[in-house]
Amino acid sequence: MKPLVEIRKLSKFFPVTGGLLHRKTGEVKAVNQVSFEICQGESLGVVGESGCGKSTLARLVLGLIKPTGGSILFDGQDITRMNQKALRRLRKRMQMVFQDPHSSLDPRYAIFESLEEVFRIQKENRDRDQMNQRIFELLDMVGLKAEHARAYPHQLSGGQKQRAVIARALATTPEFIILDEPTAALDVSVQAQIVLLLKELGQKFNISYLFISHDLALVDYFCQRIIVMYLGKIVEITAGKLSDRQPAHPYTQLLMESLFVADPFARKEIPQARGEVPTPFNLPKGCVFQTRCSRARDICRQKEPALESNRHNGRVACYFPLS
């Protein structure tokens, strides 16, 4: 299958300043030399603890922030080298849905106006009737009723607001949508409905998703392959669902032991850190995970392992993988 999105050695380092003069004292390696691709119609997951760089990766991939290095190819075009006009044209084809539906919607606009605005920004020349029809079609697609069109965000429930946000993302008929913790702010029962809706829409319109979450079971349910991130690095890319195979990287195993529960919609806690957790601006030499790894030996402390293909068709960055 042809990749729709190709990420090559992508990095984002944020400067850390200190002292009275705010001099640069170091940098946070939020995303550190990551490479992967997303195929057409594929749902690829990204998991990892808070602060490992998931949201930074999302913003880089959409061209919302400039990378420190590396490239992002969308349908063969490098978005890091595009001018604003070309990027705006491309933005129609890629969208994002964030965690908090409330801050994604302008409180001064009724849902209808929020959707109308998309067409205005995209400078689409549709006549009124055509646009009205399209807006009601979009609301229907996400399971909202015509009467919701006149509602303001504060009059809707969290789930309804997220449906409106999804309708707005679909307005430009995107081929690729990044979902950054799309259900984290919702009640468990509503989470399931939104996830099912996204899955159904993905299949219907052949949308590729990058699904970000620290909820392993949810990501495993939604995605065909999963990227495991730790301190800005990809430590493993699975060839299939986590529940179907043994983890290869010790960190994947740690996440699975602490987070995997049979019911993808049950509430889960973030795992307690085991061992010393380095910060992304104080990375150890060698493997990023060594301080928490029971398998670490001398080589792990000396040289960083590369992300390499394993015999399960996945990729793992570990000298002593579990499988």
Ligand X SMILES: Nc1ncnc2c1ncn2[C@@H]1O[C@H](COP(=O)(O)OP(=O)(O)OP(=O)(O)O)[C@@H](O)[C@H]1O
Chain positions contacting ligand X, by CB under 6 A: 14, 28, 30, 48, 50-56, 214, 280
Please report how close the Cβ of residue 277 comes to ligand X at its closest, in angstroms. Answer: 11
Nearer to Mg ion, 56 or 114 (CB): 56
Residue nearest to Mg ion (CB): 55
Tell me the closest approach of the beta carbon of residue 270 to ligand X, in angstroms: 9
CB of 223 to Mg ion, least distance (A): 17
In the list ligand X, Mg ion, none, the entry touching 14 (Cβ below 5 to 8 angstroms by class) is ligand X
- State the binding partner of 305 from Mg ion, ligand X, none, CB within 5 to 8 A by kind: none
For residues 67 and 55, give the distance between their C-alpha atoms in angstroms, rounded to a whole number.
13
Which of 49/175 has CB closer to ligand X? 49
* 136 contact, one of ligand X, Mg ion, none, CB 5-8 Å limit per kind: none
Find, among 178, 183, 210, 184, the residue nearest to 197 by Cα.
183
CB of 179 to Mg ion, least distance (A): 12
User: For 33, how many CA atoms within 13 A lie in the half-sphere containing its CB?
Assistant: 7
Sheet with 176-180: list strands edge to edge.
Answer: 94-97, 176-180, 208-212, 43-47, 225-230, 233-237, 315-316, 308-309
C-beta of 55 vs 208, nearer to ligand X = 55
- Which partner, Mg ion, ligand X, none, binds residue 288 by CB below 5 to 8 Å per kind? none
Q: Which is nearer to Mg ion, 175 or 181 (CB)?
A: 181
Binding partner of 168, given Mg ion, ligand X, none, CB within 5-8 angstroms per partner class: none
Residues of span 113-172 touching Mg ion by CB under 5 A: none
Q: Which does 51 bind (CB under 5 to 8 A by kind): ligand X, Mg ion, none?
A: ligand X
3-class SS string, the chain: CCEEEEEEEEEEEEEEEECCCCEEEEEEEEEEEEEEEEECCCEEEEECCCCCCHHHHHHHHCCCCCCCEEEEEECCEEHHHCCHHHHHHHHCCEEEECCCHHHHCCCCCCHHHHHHHHHHHCCCCCCHHHHHHHHHHHHHHCCCCHHHHHCCHHHCCHHHHHHHHHHHHHCCCCCEEEEECCCCCCCHHHHHHHHHHHHHHHHHHCCEEEEECCCHHHHHHHCCEEEEEECCEEEEECCCCHHHCCCCCHHHHHHHHHHCCCCCCCCCCCCCCCCCCCCCCCCCCCCCCHHHCCCCCHHHHHCCCCCEECCCCCEECCCCCCC
Nearer to Mg ion by C-beta: 259 or 296? 259
Examine residue 55 and tell whether it contacts Mg ion (CB under 5 A): yes
Q: Between residues 48 and 321, which has the closer beta carbon with respect to Mg ion?
A: 48
We find the least distance from the C-beta atom of residue 58 to Mg ion, in angstroms, to be 8
Q: Which does 56 bind (CB under 5 to 8 A by kind): Mg ion, ligand X, none?
A: ligand X
- Given a contact cutoff of 8 angstroms between Cβ atoms, the answer to whether 231 and 220 are in contact is no
**Which partner, ligand X, Mg ion, none, binds residue 30 by CB below 5 to 8 Å per kind?**
ligand X
Task: Count residues binding Mg ion (CB under 5 A).
Answer: 2
213 binds Mg ion (CB under 5 A): no
Least Å from the CB of residue 185 to ligand X = 12
Which among 49-57, 248-256, 280-288, 302-310 is the span making contact with Mg ion, rule CB under 5 A?
49-57
Site residues for Mg ion per CB under 5 A: 54-55
